[in-house]
Structure 1
Amino acid sequence: MSDLNHYLCFCMRAAMKRIDRHMSGRLEELGISIPQSFILCSLLEENGITLKEIGSRTLIDSSSMTVLVDKLEKDALVERQLDPEDRRAIRVVITERGRAVAAQVVEIADDFNARLYDLLGEGNQKEFVHGIDNIIKGLE
């Protein structure tokens, strides 16, 4: 059998496990998970979007979305509201407490993003981002 480090997918998975571990530890201090941080950040960008819209933006499937939003709602970080124009649609609204947590998430994410860019090295950053983008688009 070949050395697993020969396979790009294995190396990417190893990197993501370390990234997840690091970010999970930082976000745990705020009482949220990585997917919940994505939800809060999406609501900072556009408050009052539907569960479906959040799922599309964050790549979270609908079955997981319900559980994640339930926890955020329980922790008073978001509220669900019926759409007055479409009673079947449920909109998610970030609370003031949620905004405060989301602001901390953005700060943590920005710091970590800068660290990752530093680890890549100045000459590799643009090519790395381009390569990842090619992989994402090429495997659609």
Structure 2
Amino acid sequence: MKDISLECYNKLMHLSWRIIKQSRKDLANLGFAWNQYTVLKNIKPEESITLSELSIRTSKDCSNLTAIVDFLEKKELVKRNVDTQDRRVIRIQLTHKGEKVREDTILQHEIFIHSLFDNIEDMEIQDFMGSIDIVNDKINL
């Protein structure tokens, strides 16, 4: 006898990993790893943000963010500034180049995401999302 819960879990995991794998490949083609893209995406244009604030937005430890910010800084996409109110605090902000790259990368990745769903009707996507919502509401996590 089939265990439908395990079958559902396996199908969801398989789908998730296929999408993640393709997303990582797309981002690599755009010049970024998933974590780098996540950080870049979470720094808004003309915003100056602390590592702690960025940590909360990205759900990443500050210690992990340092290497990612170093990478983005070497690509001249972000810069570090000392906080004007507290010299102990370092703020991160996008450079002009970073704002442009961020915008272009988000747009290109969104085009990729849309391409994943090209062969699926909108109503099928709506039905799938409705099913996901039902399961999400009923799973106790």
Normalised to the residue count of structure 2, the TM-score between the two structures is 0.75
The higher radius of gyration belongs to 2
Question: Which stretches in structure 1 are left out of the alignment for 5+ residues?
Answer: none
| Shift in CA distance, 88/107, structure 1 to aligned 2, threshold 3 Å | same
Q: What is the aligned partner in structure 2 of residue 57 from structure 1?
A: 57
Measured in 1, the distance between the counterparts of 2:36 and 2:74 equals 13
Task: Give the direction of change, closer, same or farther, for the CA distance of 1:94–1:18 in structure 2 (3 Å limit).
Answer: same
* Contact kept? 1:35, 1:60, Cα under 8 Å: no
Describe the shift of the 1:32–1:45 C-alpha distance in structure 2 as closer, same or farther (beyond 3 A). same
Change (3 A) 1:3 1:128: closer
Q: Identity over aligned residues, as a percent? A: 28
How many pairs are equivalent?
139
Helix, strand or coil at the partner of 1:85: coil
- Paired with 2:104 and 2:70, the residues of 1 have a C-alpha distance of 21
SS of equivalent residue, structure 1 residue 43: coil
Q: What is aligned with 2:66?
A: 66
Mapped to 2, the partners of 1:36 and 1:6 lie a distance apart of: 33
Note the aligned Cα RMSD (angstroms): 3.2
Matches within 5 A, 1:14-29: 14-29=14-29
Residues 45, 94 of structure 2: 8 Å contact kept: no
Cα distance in 2 between the residues matched to 1:60 and 1:133: 28
Structure 2 runs not aligned, ≥5 long: none
Map of 1:64-103 to 2, 5 A cutoff?
Answer: 64-103=64-103
Residue 116 to residue 29, structure 1, CA distance change in 2 (3 Å): closer
What's the CA shift string for 1:5-35, capped at 9, x where partnerless?
A: 6042x33332232222222222223321112
- Residues 30 and 101 in structure 1, CA contact (< 8 A), matched pair in contact too: no
Q: Answer with 17-26 or 64-73: which moved more.
A: 17-26
Q: 1:75 to 1:7 in 2, by over 3 A?
A: same
CA offsets 1:28-66 (integer angstroms, 9 cap, x no match): 233211121121121135621111222222222323211
Is 1:106 the equivalent of 2:109? no
Amino acid at match of 1:88: R
Give the CA deviation at 1:3.
8.8
**Deviation readout 1:82-135 (Å, 9 max, x if unpaired):** 111122322111112212221221112221332344455322434544535973
